[in-house]
Amino acid sequence: MHIRRLLLLGLVLAQPWNSAQAAEPVPPLTLDEARIQRSKGKTMKDEAEKAFALDKAACSAKAIAIGCMSSARERRAAALQQADTLERAGRNREREIRRAELEAKAAKRAAEAPAEAARQQEDVAQFREKQAQRAAERERLKAEHASQLEARRSKAAAEREARQRRQEEIRQEDARRAAAAPANAKKRAERERAHAEKVRKIDERERQYADLLKRREAEQAARQSSAAASK
């Protein structure tokens, strides 16, 4: 299909203007077809030069080469013109396609510009919001850390104060006991003497009571003995 279109375009370009107008319109070439046509034009130029070189060699072998060389030059010029036409048309078509693609891309960018700008603004707003959230979170963590640190410091200070107060109470209690030790020792000694005296008195009463019982028993035995003797 590409070759047929290229050949048809080449024939149209090679014909006179009036004939070209009467020919069937040729559909625009694609980018690949335009590249193939430009390459084809270059190849045709190379082939025209090779053919001209062969024609010159053939004309040189003839006795009269003036007309032969004129014909060879005309064929060469016609072939080069046709090749140049094909090559130029392909190149122009490539430019048209590229220009159209660039214009389409520019139009697309222009059409998408408002949406892209809105998206970028939304991205910026989201980024700033996230940054603000992160900053707020950092400040919250910082304040929380400071509060926890202050709480630990207060607790440590309270515990230290409690220890110091307890140590002071123990020291005062030890001092009070040390100060009261002589008096307590004296009281304890007095209590021990009083207890010993009480025990002595109890023992004395028990001894006296035992002696009393013995005397009464002796007196009763004596009376009984006297009564028995009188009978």
Q: Does residue 107 belong to any structural domain of this protein?
A: yes
List, for residues 57-85, the tens digit of each pLDDT value: 888 877 666 688 888 888 888 888 988 88
Q: Is 201 exposed, middle or buried (0-12, 13-18, 19+ CB in 10 A)?
A: exposed
List, for residues 9-60, the tens digit of each pLDDT value: 444 444 443 444 445 666 777 778 878 887 888 888 889 889 888 888 888 8
**What is the pTM for the complete model shown?**
0.38
Q: Does residue 179 belong to any structural domain of this protein?
A: no
pLDDT at 129: 92
Q: Does residue 16 belong to any structural domain of this protein?
A: yes
Q: Is the pLDDT of residue 154 over 50?
A: yes
Q: Does residue 35 belong to any structural domain of this protein?
A: yes
pLDDT at 26: 66
Q: How many domains, the chain? A: 1
The two structure tokens encoding residue 100: 């159209």
pLDDT at 134: 93
Q: Does residue 90 belong to any structural domain of this protein?
A: yes
Q: Is the pLDDT of residue 5 over 80?
A: no
pLDDT (mean) for 73-99: 87
pLDDT at 11: 45
The answer to whether the beta carbons of residues 13 and 89 sit under 8 Å apart is yes
Range of the domain at 72: 2-112
Q: Does residue 104 belong to any structural domain of this protein?
A: yes
pLDDT at 127: 93
pLDDT at 132: 93
Per DSSP, the residues of 118-186 read HHHHHHHHHHHHHHHHHHHHHHHHHHHHHHHHHHHHHHHHHHHHHHHHHHHHHHHHHHHHHHHHHHHHH
pLDDT at 79: 86
Q: Does residue 17 belong to any structural domain of this protein?
A: yes
Q: Does residue 141 belong to any structural domain of this protein?
A: no
